[in-house]
Chain A
Amino acid sequence: GNSVTQMEGPVTLSEEAFLTINCTYTATGYPSLFWYVQYPGEGLQLLLKATKADDKGSNKGFEATYRKETTSFHLEKGSVQVSDSAVYFCALSKRGSYIPTFGRGTSLIVHP
């Protein structure tokens, strides 16, 4: 079946540091890949997505590239802010599969 594996957190960084959160997936064919962000006390919000190999999704300074050869979709940001502190979820969806597939979430804590 489909699965998503994320690095365990928490990831703790100082403001303006470089961020990478690793995500790898298992799925046949060509799933669509997503990153969601959950701020404290809120629901998940779609952060960015990529629907085919080599696509780069980007939003709010975050980027992720769909790498078919390594089955990865790592989230990056060049300079994090305190306001980026949240839990980040990697996810995939695939036509024909009714079950949404989410990773376990990675908590990011950014200190001033």
Chain B
Amino acid sequence: DTAVSQTPKYLVTQMGNDKSIKCEQNLGHDTMYWYKQDSKKFLKIMFSYNNKELIINETVPNRFSPKSPDKAHLNLHINSLELGDSAVYFCASSQSVSGGDYGYTFGSGTRLTVV
């Protein structure tokens, strides 16, 4: 059983399109995150939800909109895709809002390529 699963694994799309990435965790964790990793492997936190409530909303374009239908799911919708959105997007989860003593569990990533 995959602990944090995200789909799709690869996404190639044209500029201007709208796309979604889905994430699900079966760990019973309360907190979920979206990260963006650039080509130099730098990880940037984008959003975090705790029990369906948005608690982190970093400086990202408002074309990015997260949605958490329940605490096991966190989806990311991106409108009007741009070339600069090309990156690997990771979903993660943790037992508590600050990560606590157990750290974070990451999904395997979605590689988004905008052409």
A and B: real partners? yes
Q: Which of A96, A99, A105 is within 8 Å of B41, CB to CB?
A: A105
A18-26, A45-53, A58-66, A67-75 - interface stretch: A45-53
Which chain A residue has the least Cβ–Cβ distance from B58?
A99
Q: Is B84 an interface residue (CB 8 A)?
A: no
Q: Is A109 an interface residue (CB 8 A)?
A: no
B71 to chain A, nearest CB (A): 16
Q: Is there contact, CB below 8 Å, between B42 and A96?
A: no
Q: Is there contact, CB below 8 Å, between A100 and B45?
A: yes
Q: Is there contact, CB below 8 Å, between A100 and B41?
A: no
Among B45, B94, B103, B107, chain A packs the most CB atoms within 10 A around the CB of: B103
**CA–CA, A89 to B33, complex, Å?**
17
**Could you say which interface size class chain A belongs to?**
20 to 34
Contacts of A87 in B (CB 8 A): 41
Contacts of A80 in B (CB 8 A): none
**Complex interface bits, A86-110 against B, C-beta within 8 A gives 1, otherwise 0:** 0101010111111110101101000
**CA–CA, A21 to B43, complex, Å?**
18
Contacts of B102 in A (CB 8 A): 49
Q: Is A81 an interface residue (CB 8 A)?
A: no
Contacts of A42 in B (CB 8 A): 108-109
Q: Is A17 an interface residue (CB 8 A)?
A: no
Among A91, A95, A100, A104, chain B packs the most CB atoms within 10 A around the CB of: A100
**CA–CA, A99 to B55, complex, Å?**
9
Q: Which of B42, B98, B107, B109 is within 8 Å of A98, CB to CB?
A: B98
**CA–CA, A99 to B59, complex, Å?**
13
Interface residues of A in 1-45 (CB under 8 A from B): 32, 34, 36, 38, 42-45
Q: Is B104 an interface residue (CB 8 A)?
A: yes
**CA–CA, A36 to B94, complex, Å?**
14
Q: Which residues of B are at the interface with A, using a C-beta cutoff of 8 A?
A: 4, 33, 40-43, 45, 48, 55-56, 90, 92, 94, 97-109
